[in-house]
């Protein structure tokens, strides 16, 4: 009767699906068919009469994944899945609280606060308590509350160790009381309140333990401490837990994911009953060999080895660019070549470690007329922090721009409230003036904002475009605001990238004039428009075009985090340099490098047929050229599966815009140059970033991967080409 469910399953998949009534850990590698196994397991249990749909609890992390599970179950069995407990942690917690609202101490029709609503509620509370919002920023209060809730701690148990944190704990307690009075619950509250409900109410806990004979969990490696504790409350002595996950794809430590939950689950429930799904149905062999070899460098893993019956496939292509622009140019050329060969743009992905890296790639795609879509995020010039910075710049050149004025007059917060702006708007309307003009004739904090803009204009009068933008980011308070923001690191990187964009714009604008062949007089007329105005127009054009609409064939751009769960015919992993990928922050975090390596593993295993890995010798950083060292992850890949497209001297992939290497000083025949990779017996490998002197007195400055930057005399250094 159930034989058709088991058709086309490999032996390990079949063993997982047909497990007897016992707990097990399913260690499912990338592309191994884990979703199929999990949903088939549910269908098999129901069809063989081992459990009714009513007796199954299945948990995943996204509504999309939960919906897909229900669709697949419906396709395998002629049952109504609407009543099944299949959903996300928060969705199922909401369902539990709606059913037992009285026992949970909630009104029957309690409302759920999203993140923005929660922040508004915190601001109301702080205003009513006359709390200094400069000392206790509402967003920091929100982080404190949510962080403690996600760790399972109420205000009385919060980690408060000084006057500041104790005040935060008081605000947490007052916020909880306010939510209780108003009959509302935020998202972290759903999970914590439902956990507390089951923990304290033994009859109710017993009821659900008796009901759910089988609990199945998807993406188990992404569970945090409270989620795991929540799951354990549903597990009675006769419950079988079926946890599916891959510790090698645990990449959400910053969200609280605890990869150690998998090892703990094996000890507490599976008792060594582990089934490994290692046959990969996505990628060719060379890609899997690279992924396996890389991830084997991690010490803290359960261990598995992906394999495929599809053959080795093409080698992994490695490209070393002279600059980030050269890298972007190469990527665009390869994308166009693949498209001419019949690969859809939508079946190709450009991956990067941080959002700020997309700007150079977007510019190259825009210039080449290639339609693209930023998956799971915004294009560079549409990002909040970039629009804030551009609004300040617009006010400097066009102070009558009311939209720009309203966007930043109170961002970062300056105590200019809605009532003040309403009065200012009325004043401007009565006199037919702009908000800026009204502000200049007003007093108080609004006039102070106008003076800030004027001060910035004066301070930047003789600066380059990149220096102007750098100054604006600092003087406006944007930089300090995002430095203080718990999640502001990416936004700061984007603001730094805006400075890079300005430097590149100035460079390209100058090159266009030189290459145009027009007279100096004509060039002067063409460039009479202030450079800042031209840059703002350029930003508006790049923001307004080339992002493909829904349903159109478009290249996919995304961070590696956003790529998890997706797959493509061809994948480009860009920016493979130390401090970029792996990210520099990983050096300061416990097991940070291992998480970065898992990220690289996830990136590699997105590719089905073709994989490109690229890095640049130099990259623009904060408006200046910086020399980088190739990522250690490249050195951890097996050489036999790699194809190096260039070795610096090969001109085939050089971009016309690449910077020429600095000339060897006259009279010096050392053969070394800036940008060259070298090796040293003591310090390891590095890149020459400066050159000084001639003949026997010549010396070079080398940035080593592990030993820092050092000046070395060539007569004694015994360097060799790497």
Q: Please confirm, yes or no, whether 249 is among the known catalytic residues.
A: yes
Q: How far apart are CA 558 and CA 573, in angstroms?
A: 10
| Main-chain dihedrals φ then ψ at residue 88, nearest 5 degrees | -85, 170
Q: How far apart are CA 216 and CA 619, in angstroms?
A: 46
Give the single-character DSSP code of 236.
-
SS3 sequence, 69-125? HHHHHHHHCCCCCCCCEEEEHHHHHHHHHHHCCCCCCCCCCCEEECHHHHHHHHHHH
Q: Establish whether the linkage from the previous residue to 437 is cis, with ω within 30° of 0.
A: no
Question: Which residue among 12, 219, 222, 334 is the active-site one?
Answer: 219
**Residue 136 to residues 127, 184, 253: CA-CA distances in angstroms?**
11, 23, 26
Q: How far apart are CA 667 and CA 147, in angstroms?
A: 63
Entry field: residues in the chain: 722
Q: How far apart are CA 21 and CA 354, in angstroms?
A: 44
Lookup result for tokens 């199945």 = 216
CA count, 13 A, side-chain hemisphere, 70: 18
Q: Please confirm, yes or no, whether 34 is among the known catalytic residues.
A: yes
Question: Which residue among 359, 606, 610, 632 is the active-site one?
Answer: 606
Q: Establish whether the linkage from the previous residue to 582 is cis, with ω within 30° of 0.
A: yes
Q: Please confirm, yes or no, whether 218 is among the known catalytic residues.
A: yes
Given a contact cutoff of 8 angstroms between Cβ atoms, the answer to whether 632 and 578 are in contact is: yes
CA distance from start to end of the chain: 64
| Secondary structure class of 212 (helix, strand, coil) | coil
Any bridge partners for residue 572, and if so which?
350, 612
Look at the alpha carbons of 425, 430, 435, 440 in this order and tell me if their dihedral is positive or negative: negative
Given a contact cutoff of 8 angstroms between Cβ atoms, the answer to whether 418 and 127 are in contact is: no
Q: How far apart are CA 620 and CA 500, in angstroms?
A: 6
Q: How far apart are CA 179 and CA 143, in angstroms?
A: 16
- Cβ contacts of residue 401 below 8 Å, gap of 6+? 391, 394, 395, 434, 436
Helix (H) or strand (E) holding 41: helix 34-47
Q: Please confirm, yes or no, whether 35 is among the known catalytic residues.
A: yes
CA count, 13 A, side-chain hemisphere, 508: 16
Give the pair of three-digit tokens for residue 461.
Answer: 């009068």
**∠142-378-60 over CA atoms, to 5°?**
60
| Secondary structure class of 671 (helix, strand, coil) | coil
**Residue 463 to residues 107, 148, 396, 467, 470: CA-CA distances in angstroms?**
60, 46, 14, 6, 10
Query: Which letter, b or e, does each residue of 127-163 get, where b requires 16 or more Cβ atoms within 10 Å of its Cβ?
Result: eeeebebeebbbbbbbebbbebbbbbbebeebebeee
Question: Which residue among 209, 249, 308, 617 is the active-site one?
Answer: 249
Q: How far apart are CA 141 and CA 163, in angstroms?
A: 14
- Cβ contacts of residue 716 below 8 Å, gap of 6+? none
Q: How far apart are CA 646 and CA 321, in angstroms?
A: 9
Question: Which residue among 12, 13, 34, 578 is the active-site one?
Answer: 34
Any bridge partners for residue 241, and if so which?
215
Give the pair of three-digit tokens for residue 291.
Answer: 């992924």
Q: DSSP strand E in 560-652: where?
A: 568-573, 607-621, 624-627, 642-644
Question: Which residue among 35, 118, 556, 670 is the active-site one?
Answer: 35
Q: How far apart are CA 4 and CA 36, in angstroms?
A: 14
Q: Please confirm, yes or no, whether 289 is among the known catalytic residues.
A: no
User: Which residues are annotated as catalytic?
Assistant: 34-35, 218-219, 249, 606
């Amino acid at each position: 009767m159930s034989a058709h469910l088991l058709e086309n399953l490999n032996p390990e998949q079949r063993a997982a699906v047909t497990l007897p009534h016992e707990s097990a850990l399913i260690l499912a590698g990338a592309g191994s068919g884990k979703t199929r196994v999990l949903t088939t397991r549910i269908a098999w249990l129901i069809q063989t009469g081992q459990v009714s749909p009513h007796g199954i609890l299945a948990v995943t992390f996204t509504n999309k994944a939960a919906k897909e599970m229900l669709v697949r179950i419906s396709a395998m069995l002629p049952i109504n899945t609407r009543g099944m407990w299949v959903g996300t942690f928060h969705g199922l917690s909401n369902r539990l609280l709606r059913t037992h609202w009285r026992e949970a101490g909630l009104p029957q029709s309690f409302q759920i606060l999203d993140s923005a609503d929660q922040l508004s509620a915190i601001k109301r509370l702080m205003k009513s308590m006359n709390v200094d919002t400069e000392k206790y920023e509402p967003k920091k209060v929100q982080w404190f509350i949510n962080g403690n809730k996600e760790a399972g701690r109420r205000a009385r148990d919060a980690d408060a160790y000084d006057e500041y944190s104790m005040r935060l704990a008081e605000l947490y307690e007052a916020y909880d009381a306010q939510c209780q009075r108003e009959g509302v619950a935020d998202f972290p509250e759903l999970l914590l309140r439902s956990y507390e409900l089951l923990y304290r109410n033994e009859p109710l806990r017993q009821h659900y333990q008796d009901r759910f004979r089988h609990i199945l969990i998807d993406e188990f490696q992404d569970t945090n401490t409270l989620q795991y504790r929540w799951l354990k409350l549903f597990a009675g002595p006769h419950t079988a837990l079926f946890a599916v996950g891959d510790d090698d794809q645990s990449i959400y430590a910053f969200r609280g994911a605890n990869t150690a939950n998998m090892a703990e689950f094996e000890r507490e429930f599976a008792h060594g009953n582990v089934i490994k799904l290692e046959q990969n149905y996505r990628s060719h062999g060379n890609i899997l060999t690279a992924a396996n070899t890389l991830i084997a460098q991690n010490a803290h893993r359960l261990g598995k080895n992906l394999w495929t019956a599809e053959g080795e496939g093409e080698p992994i292509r490695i490209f070393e660019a002279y600059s980030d622009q050269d890298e972007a140019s190469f990527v665009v050329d390869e994308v166009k070549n693949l498209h001419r060969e019949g690969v859809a743009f939508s079946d190709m992905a450009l991956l990067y470690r941080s959002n700020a890296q997309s700007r150079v790639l977007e510019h190259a795609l825009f210039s080449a007329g290639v339609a693209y879509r930023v998956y799971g995020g915004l294009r560079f010039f549409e990002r909040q922090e970039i629009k804030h910075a551009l609004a300040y710049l617009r006010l400097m050149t066009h102070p009558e721009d009311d939209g720009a004025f309203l966007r930043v007059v109170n961002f970062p917060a300056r105590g200019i409230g809605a009532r003040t702006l309403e009065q200012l708007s009325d004043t401007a309307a009565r006199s037919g003036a702009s908000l800026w003009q009204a502000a200049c004739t007003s007093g108080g904090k609004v006039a102070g904002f106008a003076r800030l803009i004027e001060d910035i204009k004066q301070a930047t009068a003789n600066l380059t475009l990149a220096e102007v933008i750098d100054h604006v980011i600092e003087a406006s308070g944007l930089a300090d605001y995002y430095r203080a923001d718990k999640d502001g690191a990416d936004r700061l990187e984007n603001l730094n990238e805006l400075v890079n964009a300005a430097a590149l714009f100035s460079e390209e604008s100058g090159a266009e004039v030189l290459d145009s062949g027009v007279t100096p007089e004509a060039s002067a007329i063409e460039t009479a428009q202030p450079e800042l105005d031209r840059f703002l127009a350029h930003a508006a054009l790049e923001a307004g075009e080339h992002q493909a609409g829904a349903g159109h064939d478009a290249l996919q751009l995304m961070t590696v985090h956003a790529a998890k769960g997706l797959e493509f015919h061809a994948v480009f992993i860009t920016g493979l340099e130390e401090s970029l990928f792996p990210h520099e922050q990983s050096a300061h975090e416990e097991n940070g490098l291992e998480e970065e390596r898992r990220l690289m593993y996830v990136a590699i295993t997105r590719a089905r047929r073709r994989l490109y890995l690229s890095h640049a010798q130099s990259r623009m950083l904060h408006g200046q050229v910086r020399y980088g060292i190739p990522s250690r992850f490249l050195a951890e890949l097996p050489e036999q599966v790699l194809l190096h497209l260039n070795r610096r001297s090969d001109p085939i992939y050089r971009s016309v815009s690449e910077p020429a290497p600095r000339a060897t000083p006259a009279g010096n025949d050392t053969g070394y140059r800036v940008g060259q990779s070298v090796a040293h017996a003591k310090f390891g490998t590095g890149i020459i970033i400066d050159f000084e002197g001639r003949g026997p007195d010549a010396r070079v400055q080398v940035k080593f991967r592990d030993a820092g930057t050092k000046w070395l005399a060539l007569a004694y250094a015994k360097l060799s080409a790497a």
